[in-house]
Amino acid sequence: MQARLLLEDGTLFTGLGFGAEGVSTGEVVFNTGITGYQEVLSDPSYCGQIVTMTFPLIGNYGINRDDFESIRPYIHGFVVRRHEPVPSNWRAQYTLDRLLKEYGIIGISDIDTRMLTRILRRHGTMKGILTTGSERVEELRERLDASPLLRDQVARTSTKQVFSSPGRGERIVLIDYGAKSGILRELTQRGCDVVVVPHNVTADEIRRLHPDGIQLSNGPGDPKDVPHAVETVRQLLGEYPIFGICLGHQIFALACGADTEKLKFGHRGGNHPVKELATGRCYITSQNHGYTVKEDSIQGTELTVTHINNNDKTIEGLKHNRYPAFSVQYHPEAAPGPFDSSYLFDQFLEMIRDHKRNNPERPRQAQLAETLRGELQYAQK
Amino acid sequence: MPKNKDLKKILVIGSGPIVIGQAAEFDYAGTQACQALKEEGLEVVLINSNPATIMTDTNMADKVYIEPINLEFVSQIIRQERPDGLLPTLGGQTGLNMAVELARAGILEQEGVKLLGTQLSAIERAEDRDQFRELMRELGQPVPESAIVTSVQEAVDFANEIGYPVIVRPAYTLGGTGGGIAQTEEELRETVESGIRYSPIGQCLIEKSIAGMKEIEYEVMRDANDNCIVVCNMENFDPVGVHTGDSIVVAPSQTLSDREYQMLRSASLKIIRALNIEGGCNVQFALDPHSYQYYVIEVNPRVSRSSALASKATGYPIAKMAAKIAIGYTLDEIVNPVTGQTYACFEPTLDYIVSKIPRWPFDKFVSANRKLGTQMKATGEVMAIGRTFEESIHKAVRSLEIGTHRLLLKGADEIEDQTLRTRLSKPDDERLFLVAEAFRRGWPLQEIQDLTRIDWWFLDKIERIVKFEDVIRREPGLTFETLRQAKRLGFTDRAIAELRREGQGAGAAHTTEADVREYRLQQGLKPVYKMVDTCAAEFEASTPYYYSTYETENEVLPSDKEKIVVLGSGPIRIGQGIEFDYSTVHAVWAIRNAGYEAVIINNNPETVSTDFNTSDRLYFEPLFFEDVMNVIEQEKPIGVIVQFGGQTAINLAGPLARAGVRILGTSLDSIDEAEDRKRFEALLRRLNIAQPKGTTVTSVDEAVGAARELGYPVLVRPSYVLGGRAMEIVYSDEELLAYMKEAVKINPEHPVLIDRYMLGKEIEIDAICDGETVLIPGIMEHIERAGVHSGDSIAVYPPQSLSEDIKKQAVDITIRIAKELKTVGLVNIQFVVWNDKVYVIEVNPRSSRTVPFLSKVTNVPMANLATRAILGEKLADLGYREGLWPEDEHVSVKVPVFSFAKLRRVDPTLTPEMKSTGEVMGRDRQFAKALYKGLLGANMKIPSSGSIIATVADKDKAEAVEILRGFYNLGYKLLATGGTAEALEKAGMRVTRVNKLSEASPNIVDLIRSGQAQFVVNTLTKGKTPERDGFRIRREAVENGVVCLTSLDTVRALLTMLESLRFSSEPMPVLQP
């Protein structure tokens, strides 16, 4: 079956289709990871995007039940040099082809993916349309022009309901902007009592959960598309320890008065070097983002840059000068990618414990008594 | 952190001679390191005994010592040079062992030399089995159950406890020397016995066998700031059980999910951190194919063979980075030289598949045991890059130059099912092809997997290749789509033609290579070239490092400069080693200096020539007509230089010239004149130059007739071969017939050459000619007389025993031949001196094995001058005159180095067939001292007293007695068997008689085993089957590390050396009344 990919700049790739049939549009991006296609496919941050894998053989180890980063893939298309129909791995349960078919995602293979990558590198990411049909190119062009990029990806991927993953440790409220399971996994592994809340949660709703700390998740798209999320974080600043990841980092930055911008072709892969400025240490990180915090917007805010990308020097980590709050642009939860930065979750929990030590709570009973007294007075009025 | 300011002068230790397990990759590593250190303004002192290396060029370091790498010499150099630091991690196991020795002897501390890169404790923790296991336990890293033993009994006891099979790994040895898998107690006893002997500390590890698991390797780097990265991981096609140097390897891993990949990555980082390595490190894992269970097999705390492969596979120069880290740089501050804009602190990502296939010497060592196990046997390797596994493996196969260009082995279809089954389950060098054969027989994949335990993924790809062969065969007309698919799967035009012929009959369309090629070009199907850029195109890169594939976008940018293509020499094999890479690199440099763009085509990942910094453009491609032609069409060079790439490149000259490509330098016609027997004879006749009488025969009967006419002994060999392959001296009809039956295929297309065998002194000359002037940098005299391959002889420069007249004759002949052949570039001539007359044995119209040695000892930059001559410069204008270059005052000796210990069942006797894998050089003011250094460098133990076991053939007895008398007079004890003992006694020497093998124990072999002799002198008796006593004696000597001399010439040279180096004690002359 033939499949085609038409880019906004007019470049047309003709290859073979796999996965689902049909037509789909999205922002065409590339990921340089060699392994981890299942995690990439199911990472909600790719919502609405047509993802190209630069490694040419995809599907080698099939699809298994464990490596999903969310309940379903949200991508709008998958581009590979060669789709491997016969996987080999002890955990493989079915093929990449079947996964894409089940979720109605169009795949295209047998095109020059390196050429596509080079185009995206030079021109920046752009819109594309993927089809398995026989439409004329002009027709595809019209459809492409008529399809704006999504702006509601966070709403599409965030949980609709509050749910909890109980534990005996610190209570963490995880605001889900399209979270990867990895974040939840890292927190629960550390014994946290996690409550996952939707992106449009209000500050009061969070307060009512009496969290020890707030985790801002990763998520798809432009942080400026979710002003309500920024507002919520702004209200909670200083009240609770906060740790932001990826989109959560950008939302945190906006909440602190900094600004964000779009990168030419983003960072997507598992080999990005990040330098911790305090120590000079470098970490190889997993990344997936198209936007970044503007360097010159930090001035005048209460933020300090803690990490930078060692290659293009963009901001990779921030901390608040007064409040217990920090964030990173990359993915300490890995999956896919290296686990070098998982220590950040420990750092977050350490920060929570410090915060508690510095802000000792009054004994619960006294608090309760005060509340009860207040309620009694109210009732008497 | 900036570089360490305390370091001003650094000593780099090279890896010494090329042996199996330690090859050209360390020249590549050492060269990069020296360049990296010099770049930083440091003074570099280098020691390496191997002259055939780029790193020992005097422009690579501030001071180059070509001396034996042993405690005595290195200590002396340290005292002389007083370096601030020692960098041992780029010189392979040799460098590392040397560092340990220096440290233990207290030299480093005494002289205040800092050990750079890896600390002594780390080396010990990684290399000492006991400490390694302790470390792994601390880190929570699983290792297979094992025990350290220092005796055979301990090994047997332990094996009984954990059960067979077990793996035996001797401590501190190279490429698994002396190790192996033991299935039974008997095998275990044998292996452990030799293992203990090979281990410098007499220690072996007995380990539970984990054969059959996936074998995965990680190349890791770390700096002093604890930044760690993984450069590359690799997956072995062959499961655990085959030494990784003998395995087909792909990069990156193909069957690991991200979880498994990251699990092993994290483990690798944990290990390198615990070892505190500052530089590169290699970690090998076994991974259970059915669970997350893994084991750490081995850690190399240094740059290794795998690092060279990883460097070429990714573009990331590990050795260079390791050198910078060793002097205090951190990864985040070193710019990635590939992109020029990102930093070395990142992990390369690949957008292609790399395949490595080892190159084994079994084509030369027909009697060797071809089974692959934990002891490495390959001499070299090829690497290929493709966008699919099929394309990549196909390219690798045709890079091997083993007579096949696809997954087809001649004669495989005749193997019986049962044999095929056995050979699939017990890996040998041909298993890849046998897997394909099994698929051709329609065997189910599952069955093949059960037999081979090769991962399903790889087998599926091979099955796909085999199935696609059928598509090509059967399709009624060859469609564009099928052709395109075939090219994308890596099939050559020749393969497609062959398959079409098989399926459609010889008369059908597209059944010749030329026809397929034409059709393909008509269809516009040409390869494009993609760049190896470390980052999968994420960043712009400027590396001129390309591979071909059949896709859409071509990334090679056009350039206006005139270009010259240089063909490399492919994988390292016996007879075509690193020496050719040396010349290739010099040619490339000369071309660049002359203002042209130098384009190199080669497929050997170990070499300096395939460092992308060497040339203007590197095409990592097979040296196969189609692939070379494609590059030529892409680059449109003004010509191609073939004379530096050994026989590989010379063999391509004809097809290329016929395709209209201009061959630069000596013309194709002249090449042919030198190589074609008949034309060559005519040439010598014309010039009135003598050669040993000989003839060409095309049938067995003719051969017998010719031999009788010439008179035995005769020298027989097939035409057009390299390194004396299948060349033998035969003494009778019987032997001749046996040779004709076993060693060659004789027919009009494959004639056999028969020469009268002249037992004279051999000499060799390399000359440079520009068509007008013939410059002869030097004459080399061989210690061993004709009959021992020139590559296996000890060569001496300047000659020590030649008369002026002989030299004059040789020089005169060389000049006349070079001129007659209108040589432009290099020519190598071998002579035999017989009754004061010089005869020509062979003319090679190309760069030879001796070019690097001769260049170094004469200081004449031979490859450079040859290249300049090829480019049109005149030697006269460069200040050179015709004739012999003035002889050096120093004496230099080139000593061959063998790898017999690694190749069971190979006879260590020196014959006309080349057997050595490498060479070392000894240089001093006197011949004896130079030879001493050479022999030391070749790892020969030369005690000044001790015992010699002699057992020589009848024909050699008289000569042997006289030589042995010399040793006797020096105080050596003589031990000899029957006839030899008798002869010695008759000559008035005291001899201890030794039982022959057939006699009661203790016999000669027992003596060798028990280490009671320092030398074995054994000359060849007729019949070369392993059953012969002589063979067993020689093997026993080799396996027990006892010096075994099979040529009386070598023994005499040794005697001369010992005599002149020893203070002799003589009684005072009695006063005459």
Decide if A281 touches B, using CB distance below 8 A. Answer: yes
Determine whether the interchain pair B460/A86 forms a contact, defined as Cβ–Cβ distance below 8 Å: yes
Determine whether the interchain pair B346/A311 forms a contact, defined as Cβ–Cβ distance below 8 Å: yes
Question: Residue A82: which residues within 8 A CB-CB, separation 6 or more?
Answer: A56, A57, A58, A109, A110, B387, B388
**Radius of gyration for the alpha carbons in chain B, expressed in angstroms and rounded:** 29
Chain A residues with CB inside 8 Å of B334's CB? Answer: none
Length of chain B: 1073
Distance from CA of A182 to the nearest CA of B (A): 12
Identify any residues that bridge with B296 across adjacent strands, giving them in sequence order.
B285
Cβ–Cβ under 8 Å, residues B428 and B370: yes
Q: What is the pLDDT of residues B267-282, one digit of tens each?
A: 999 999 999 999 999 9
Q: What is the pLDDT of residues B164-194, one digit of tens each?
A: 889 898 887 765 677 888 989 999 998 998 8
At A362 the pLDDT is 72
Beta strands in B430-487 (DSSP E): none
Kindly report the backbone phi and psi dihedral angles of residue B701, in degrees, each rounded to the nearest multiple of 5, phi listed first: -60, -45
Provide the pLDDT confidence category of residue B1073 given band limits of 50, 70 and 90: low
In whole angstroms, give the CA distance from residue B884 to residue B962.
36
Q: From the options 1.10.1060.10, 3.40.50.2300, 3.60.110.10, 3.30.470.20, give the CATH code of B214-348.
A: 3.30.470.20
Q: Residue A281 is nearest to which of B227, B266, B341, comparing CB atoms? A: B227
Chain B residues with CB inside 8 Å of A15's CB? Answer: none
Domain residue ranges in chain B: 9-124, 145-208, 214-348, 357-522, 528-664, 943-1073
Distance from CA of B682 to the nearest CA of A (A): 56
If one compares B720 and B425, the residue with the highest pLDDT of the two is B425
At B195 the pLDDT is 87
In whole angstroms, give the CA distance from residue B700 to residue B221.
59
Residue B1026: pLDDT over 50:
no
Q: What is the pLDDT of residues B909-960, one digit of tens each?
A: 888 889 999 999 999 999 999 999 999 999 888 888 899 999 998 888 999 9
When pLDDT is averaged across residues B221-245 and rounded to a whole number, the result is 95
Determine whether the interchain pair A35/B540 forms a contact, defined as Cβ–Cβ distance below 8 Å: no
Residue B1027: pLDDT over 60:
no
Give the number of beta-carbon pairs within 8 Å between A and B. 162
In whole angstroms, give the CA distance from residue B973 to residue B481.
77
**DSSP run (H or E) holding A104:** none
Q: What is the pLDDT of residues B137-162, one digit of tens each?
A: 999 999 988 888 999 999 999 999 98
Q: What is the pLDDT of residues B496-534, one digit of tens each?
A: 999 999 999 988 999 999 999 999 999 999 999 999 999
Q: From the options 1.10.260.40, 3.30.70.890, 3.30.465.10, 3.30.1490.20, give the CATH code of B145-208.
A: 3.30.1490.20
Provide the pLDDT confidence category of residue B1025 given band limits of 50, 70 and 90: very low
Query: How many distinct helices (H) and strands (E) make up chain A?
Result: 11, 19
To the nearest whole number, what is the mean pLDDT of chain B?
92
Determine whether the interchain pair B269/A336 forms a contact, defined as Cβ–Cβ distance below 8 Å: no
Q: What is the DSSP letter of A224?
A: G
Closest A-chain CA to B333? A310
Distance from CA of A313 to the nearest CA of B (A): 10
Residue range(s) in chain A whose domain bears CATH number 3.40.50.880:
154-358
Identify any residues that bridge with B37 across adjacent strands, giving them in sequence order.
none
Architecture of domain B357-522 in this structure: Orthogonal Bundle (1.10)
In whole angstroms, give the CA distance from residue B905 to residue B1027.
10
Which residues numbered 288-317 in A keep a CB inside 8 Å of some CB on B? 310-311
When pLDDT is averaged across residues B1062-1070 and rounded to a whole number, the result is 76
Residue entry with tokens 């909440």: A255
**What CATH number is given for B9-124 in this structure?**
3.40.50.20
In whole angstroms, give the CA distance from residue B325 to residue B229.
13
Determine whether the interchain pair B539/A121 forms a contact, defined as Cβ–Cβ distance below 8 Å: yes
Determine whether the interchain pair A311/B266 forms a contact, defined as Cβ–Cβ distance below 8 Å: no
Sort B4 into a burial class: Cβ within 10 Å, 0-12 / 13-18 / 19+. middle
A246 is catalytic: yes
Kindly report the backbone phi and psi dihedral angles of residue B367, in degrees, each rounded to the nearest multiple of 5, phi listed first: -85, -5
Decide if A228 touches B, using CB distance below 8 A. Answer: no
Provide the pLDDT confidence category of residue B1023 given band limits of 50, 70 and 90: low
Q: Residue A57 is nearest to which of B348, B353, B530, comparing CB atoms? A: B353
Residue range(s) in chain A whose domain bears CATH number 3.50.30.20:
2-150
Cβ–Cβ under 8 Å, residues B1003 and B996: yes
* Alpha-helix residue ranges (DSSP H) falling in B887-956: 927-937
Cβ–Cβ under 8 Å, residues B46 and B34: yes
Chain A residues with CB inside 8 Å of B252's CB? Answer: 34-35, 55
CA dihedral in degrees (A20, A22, A26, A31; nearest 10)?
Answer: 30
Q: Which of A62-76, B165-179, B251-265, B874-888 has the lowest mean pLDDT?
A: B165-179
In whole angstroms, give the CA distance from residue B14 to residue B578.
14
Residue B437's nearest CA partner among B418, B458, B415 is B415
Chain B residues with CB inside 8 Å of A275's CB? Answer: 332
In whole angstroms, give the CA distance from residue B224 to residue B119.
12
Q: What is the pLDDT of residues A234-249, one digit of tens each?
A: 999 999 999 999 999 9
Determine whether the interchain pair A34/B551 forms a contact, defined as Cβ–Cβ distance below 8 Å: no
Interface pTM (ipTM) of the complex? 0.96
- Give the whole-number percent of chain B exceeding pLDDT 90: 75
Determine whether the interchain pair B349/A311 forms a contact, defined as Cβ–Cβ distance below 8 Å: no
Q: What is the pLDDT of residues B453-512, one digit of tens each?
A: 999 999 999 999 999 999 999 999 899 999 999 999 999 999 999 999 999 998 899 999
Question: From the candidates A83, A249, A289, A331, which is the catalytic residue?
Answer: A331
A331 is catalytic: yes
Q: Do domains B528-664 and B943-1073 have the same CATH topology?
A: yes
Decide if A160 touches B, using CB distance below 8 A. Answer: no
Residue B463's nearest CA partner among B451, B480, B479, B446 is B446
Decide if A99 touches B, using CB distance below 8 A. Answer: no
**What CATH number is given for A2-150 in this structure?**
3.50.30.20
In whole angstroms, give the CA distance from residue B396 to residue B356.
7
DSSP character string of B105-132:
TTHHHHHTPEEPSS-HHHHHHHHSHHHH
A333 is catalytic: yes
Chain B residues with CB inside 8 Å of A32's CB? Answer: 349, 351, 535-536, 538
Closest A-chain CA to B341? A311
**What CATH number is given for B943-1073 in this structure?**
3.40.50.1380
Residue A301: pLDDT over 50:
yes
Record the tokens describing residue A219, joined without a space. 């998520």
At B1064 the pLDDT is 66
Distance from CA of B269 to the nearest CA of A (A): 9
Decide if A112 touches B, using CB distance below 8 A. Answer: yes
Residue A103: pLDDT over 60:
yes
Q: Residue B255 is nearest to which of A88, A273, A339, comparing CB atoms? A: A88
| Pairing of β B563-567 and β B639-641 | parallel
* Alpha-helix residue ranges (DSSP H) falling in B536-645: 578-593, 625-635
First vs last C-alpha separation in chain B: 83
Residue B294: pLDDT over 90:
yes
Quickly name the fold that domain B528-664 has.
Rossmann fold (3.40.50)
Q: What is the pLDDT of residues B567-612, one digit of tens each?
A: 999 999 999 999 999 999 999 999 999 999 999 999 999 999 999 9
Chain B residues with CB inside 8 Å of A61's CB? Answer: 255-257
At B723 the pLDDT is 46
Architecture of domain A154-358 in this structure: 3-Layer(aba) Sandwich (3.40)
Cβ–Cβ under 8 Å, residues B233 and B250: no
Question: From the candidates A246, A256, A272, A320, which is the catalytic residue?
Answer: A246
